[in-house]
Structure 1
Amino acid sequence: MHAQELPFDILERVFLSCVTLDQAAPQPAPYCAPISLCHVSQWWRKVAMDSPRLWERLTLEVETFRVPFRGFQGKRYIYPKTAEFSDWWWANAKKRPLALSIREPEMPEELETTRDTPSKPKALPKIKPSALISIGTFLLSPMIVSARSLHVAHGHLDNLRILCNPHAELPNLQCLTLSDLLDIYGSRITYSTLAKAPLLRYVHLAFYDTSFTFPYNQLTHLFVSARMSCYSLRVFLTQECPNLIVGAFDIGKPTHYDLQGSPMKELIEDGFSFFNGFTTVTIRGRG
């Protein structure tokens, strides 16, 4: 029997056993561990596309790296690895919402500078910096707009401008993980954009800024990996997150705050756990 004649439940098991599972899905994503599709054959990618249950387990990992350009305001620009987007599967992936992870690894060796020409990469194509940015936006824009789960591992990516666009819509986005407030231009992600993500419920932020606007009122799960005072957390929970069911926040070291006398004591159910020198408070709302 040819592999194409096997039922999809068997193909799913073969796929899961043959493809290496990467790191666990970023919390609070309600999905299984992401599976990288960059190194499997086109036929197996089609199997993944045609199997809804398998597709729910997939996270497309997009790698980019920065190329330095001297004499252009000293900035660094994104040069995407286009090989991952050139095949049939990339275009067909637009048909279904997917989980998208954008990360920026170390600069490849072939683009490191040499001693003889320290200001020029070894194999850098002759492309203008503005063109590099356009390439990155062109390749990732359709995927970000249709993503159901979005994890941006580095904030200074030009593609965050998509989230800053007040006319953008993210109709399928359910889970969002961000590690920075700013994109490459220094623009802030605003409420006007993220308010157009009606299904967004799970958010993980690696920062806390009072000037950062966000549709907190529609969230049920919120994880903030940044230090907050008890007072700020109490105000934040009572005024900004009326529908929050589960949240995790860093409130600094316990010696700095008298938690026993805090008005938010009644909201604390799971106590405290030490994590990287901070006290993480897990709060479960009344709802």
Structure 2
Amino acid sequence: MRESTLGASEPPPNVPIDSLQRSNHRPSPAQRVHLAAALTQKEASITNLEEDELDLQLKINHLMKEMRTISDIRSREQDEADSFRFLLAPIRLLAPELLAQIFKYALPAKPHPQRVSSPLGLAHVCSAWRKTIMGSSAFWNNLSIQVDIHAKSHRDPDIISFWYGHANSNAPLSLSLSTPTYMNYLPKSMYSSMVNFSYRITELRIYGDYDLHSQFLHLPGRTLPVLETLFLVGLLIGEDEDDYYYGSEHGRLFKSRGFKFDITPSEITVFDNFPRLRFVTLGLPSIAFRENSFFALSWSSITRLDIQGKITQGAFIRLTNLCPQLHAASFVVDTESSSHSTEVFNLATFVDLMSFRLQLCKPDNRFTAVDALPLMPLPKLLTLVLVDDEDHAFIFPLRAIFPGILDSLALVRCLQLSHISCSHDELLQLVMACPMLEDLRMHVLDKDLAYQLRCLRKTPPERDGHAPPLFAHLVSFTFAFTPDGRNSIEAVGAAFTELVYTWAMDPRRCRPLEYLSLYVWIEKYWFDKEEVAARQALERLQGEICDAVEQAQSSRPVVNVDVVSSLSELESLTGTFWCPF
């Protein structure tokens, strides 16, 4: 009788090893012998492989060491090659005098730097450059400083003395002083240090609050005898907040330091006798122009005047009579001011004025021809810019200067109308008076913009059919508008395309159209999806405008389309071909 066993049963003698692994059978004696021999063989193979792996690792370590050695040698060779390449660089062959000329274009060109406009940054490159910078007095003729109220102001005068000490003793100097933060001031010691070099300063720029300019405005006359360019910007923090301004902690602090608020023109002495003054930019509050007699300034010799602060109509009239030599002028006139001049002036003729920019601030909606600004004849006018107030809360009524302006447009090359209100007849009369117009920029408010554009296609009946058409010399046309229910982007775009196509088709044109721009003026309350839709519509129009004009003339114009939300943004996109401001 065969003895029974517990657990796994004996497998059949012919069961392979693979099947045995997938079952619970015990290996047979023959299989056990076979498995023991196979195990010995595998263990011997593993031992051999481990020895091979160790040999390979030793070889890898040796190769890595050789690789690092080669890499180090390569790095040294590369450094030496670079040094040889640098030694052979063409810039090393330039003479120090030529380097100095190149470095002039590497300096900051516009204010304001963080602290001082310094050429010393170039001096850190190498000893040769440092020697060039320190040895060239031309780098030290221009200085721009930001004065921080928290800075150690007693050191600032040393900057002026140190800087101009390196300057050419015979070259003119340029100085810019600014206060970057709210309620800053320029210390008296700064002006005292400036006076030591004032006899050589030909360009002076000062930025800061008007009331805190008192130390400068009270300097004696003839302090700057060779000054040619003056840029003085000092707006009040708020002319309607006098009580707060005077009673505030800052106000008491500055009054205790000798600053006088509400400086009247009669108290300003520094401008006395500037015989060489030609270019003037004044960003002063209206208080500086309220008296019947302005502060003493060589008004009659000024050739470019930019008034950036609001002035009254009376001040505008007085200024136009005080500056007969102007070549370029820009004014911001507050037509709502109750301050009117009681003086009677005969309007002067600006025989040399070529650029005129007029911005009306808060014009009265009831503006009539009786209230129109008196304009002098402008026989050489090339650029005329009419702009509304910067907030666009009101519009510029063309009748404020109409029809007197029509007699001064015969030579105008650039006409910009921004946020203008006028009738179709007034607009047509205005452009008809500009037969030499090359650059037209329009943002004229109208309930029917498509009809406004169609009006520009009309040829007045009194014009000879053989004479050059309107806009015969036009090269650039910019049109900006605010879309609404009646003036959709598609409708205005179609009218714009038809207009420029009609212009380009006229065989009597003297010049082809080169620059065409269509801008959508968006309001601040627009949603993102509305702006995206506007941009998509403009992109479709861009190709249509290009194709239409190219069919009518031999050359393809440059077409720009975009969405804008401010006048400054629009001007940055279009550029200013003729206007110097």
Question: Normalised by the size of structure 2, how large is the TM-score?
Answer: 0.33
| Matched letter for residue 236 of structure 1 | L
Deviation of residue 64 (structure 1)?
1.1
1:185 and 2:260 equivalent? yes
Q: SS where residue 135 of structure 1 aligns?
A: helix
Aligned residue among 210, 230, 233 for 2:290: 210
Q: SS where residue 21 of structure 1 aligns?
A: coil
Deviation of residue 24 (structure 1)?
6.9
What is the CA–CA distance in structure 2 between the aligned matches of 1:155 and 1:140, rounded to whole Å?
Answer: 19
* Equivalent residue runs for 1:99-114 within 5 Å: 99-106=174-181
What is the CA–CA distance in structure 1 between the aligned matches of 2:197 and 2:282, rounded to whole Å?
Answer: 21
What is the CA–CA distance in structure 2 between the aligned matches of 1:40 and 1:189, rounded to whole Å?
Answer: 44
Cα–Cα, structure 1 residues 164 and 146, in superposed 2: closer, same or farther, change >3 Å? farther
- Tell whether the 8 Å contact from 1:166 to 1:192 is kept in structure 2 after alignment: yes
What is the CA–CA distance in structure 1 between the aligned matches of 2:167 and 2:181, rounded to whole Å?
Answer: 27
> For structure 2, which runs of at least 5 residues remain unmatched after alignment?
1-86, 124-129, 237-257, 333-358, 361-387, 389-394, 420-565, 572-577
What is the CA–CA distance in structure 1 between the aligned matches of 2:153 and 2:212, rounded to whole Å?
Answer: 7
Q: Identify the structure with the greater helix proportion.
A: 2
Q: SS where residue 90 of structure 1 aligns?
A: helix
- Tell whether the 8 Å contact from 1:65 to 1:104 is kept in structure 2 after alignment: yes
Aligned residue among 167, 174, 186 for 1:93: 167
Which one has more relative contact order, counting CA pairs under 8 Å at least 6 apart?
A: 1
| Matched letter for residue 60 of structure 1 | L
Partner of 2:308: 225
What is the CA–CA distance in structure 2 between the aligned matches of 1:166 and 1:84, rounded to whole Å?
Answer: 23
1:190-228 Cα deviation digits (max 9, x unpaired): 675423221100001113523342332110000111345
Cα–Cα, structure 1 residues 82 and 176, in superposed 2: closer, same or farther, change >3 Å? closer
1:37 and 2:119 equivalent? yes
What is the CA–CA distance in structure 2 between the aligned matches of 1:143 and 1:226, rounded to whole Å?
Answer: 29
| Matched letter for residue 233 of structure 1 | F
| Matched letter for residue 244 of structure 1 | L
What is the CA–CA distance in structure 1 between the aligned matches of 2:406 and 2:218, rounded to whole Å?
Answer: 36
1:84 and 2:188 equivalent? no
What is the CA–CA distance in structure 1 between the aligned matches of 2:147 and 2:276, rounded to whole Å?
Answer: 28
Partner of 1:62: 145
Partner of 1:246: 328
Q: SS where residue 139 of structure 1 aligns?
A: helix
What is the CA–CA distance in structure 1 between the aligned matches of 2:319 and 2:325, rounded to whole Å?
Answer: 12
Aligned residue among 193, 199, 203 for 2:276: 199
| Matched letter for residue 140 of structure 1 | M
Number of corresponding residues: 232
Partner of 2:108: 21
- Tell whether the 8 Å contact from 1:168 to 1:193 is kept in structure 2 after alignment: yes
What is the CA–CA distance in structure 2 between the aligned matches of 1:23 and 1:152, rounded to whole Å?
Answer: 13
What is the root-mean-square deviation in Å for CA atoms of aligned residues? 4.5
What is the CA–CA distance in structure 2 between the aligned matches of 1:264 and 1:230, rounded to whole Å?
Answer: 17
Larger radius of gyration between Structure 1 and Structure 2:
2
Q: SS where residue 195 of structure 1 aligns?
A: coil
| Matched letter for residue 328 of structure 2 | V
* Equivalent residue runs for 1:123-272 within 5 Å: 133-155=187-209, 161-180=215-234, 184-186=259-261, 187=263, 192-207=269-284, 208=286, 209-211=289-291, 212-213=294-295, 214-228=297-311, 233-237=316-320, 239-250=321-332, 251-252=359-360, 253=388, 254-256=395-397, 258-261=399-402, 263=404, 266-267=407-408, 269=412, 270-272=414-416
Query: Kindly, what percent of the aligned residue pairs are identical?
Result: 16
Partner of 2:512: none
What is the CA–CA distance in structure 2 between the aligned matches of 1:145 and 1:46, rounded to whole Å?
Answer: 24
Deviation of residue 12 (structure 1)?
1.5
Q: SS where residue 226 of structure 1 aligns?
A: coil
- Tell whether the 8 Å contact from 1:100 to 1:143 is kept in structure 2 after alignment: no
1:151-205 Cα deviation digits (max 9, x unpaired): 0011458776345333433122110001127994344566754232211000011
- Tell whether the 8 Å contact from 1:217 to 1:243 is kept in structure 2 after alignment: yes
- Tell whether the 8 Å contact from 2:160 to 2:194 is kept in structure 1 after alignment: no
- Tell whether the 8 Å contact from 1:230 to 1:259 is kept in structure 2 after alignment: no
What is the CA–CA distance in structure 1 between the aligned matches of 2:143 and 2:99, rounded to whole Å?
Answer: 22
Q: SS where residue 205 of structure 2 aligns?
A: strand
What is the CA–CA distance in structure 2 between the aligned matches of 1:150 and 1:178, rounded to whole Å?
Answer: 8
**Greater alpha carbon shift after TM alignment, 215-224 vs 263-272:** 263-272
Cα–Cα, structure 1 residues 200 and 67, in superposed 2: closer, same or farther, change >3 Å? same
- Tell whether the 8 Å contact from 1:234 to 1:263 is kept in structure 2 after alignment: no
What is the CA–CA distance in structure 2 between the aligned matches of 1:63 and 1:24, rounded to whole Å?
Answer: 9
Cα–Cα, structure 1 residues 277 and 229, in superposed 2: closer, same or farther, change >3 Å? farther
Partner of 1:71: none
- Tell whether the 8 Å contact from 1:65 to 1:106 is kept in structure 2 after alignment: yes
Q: Identify the structure with the greater strand proportion.
A: 1
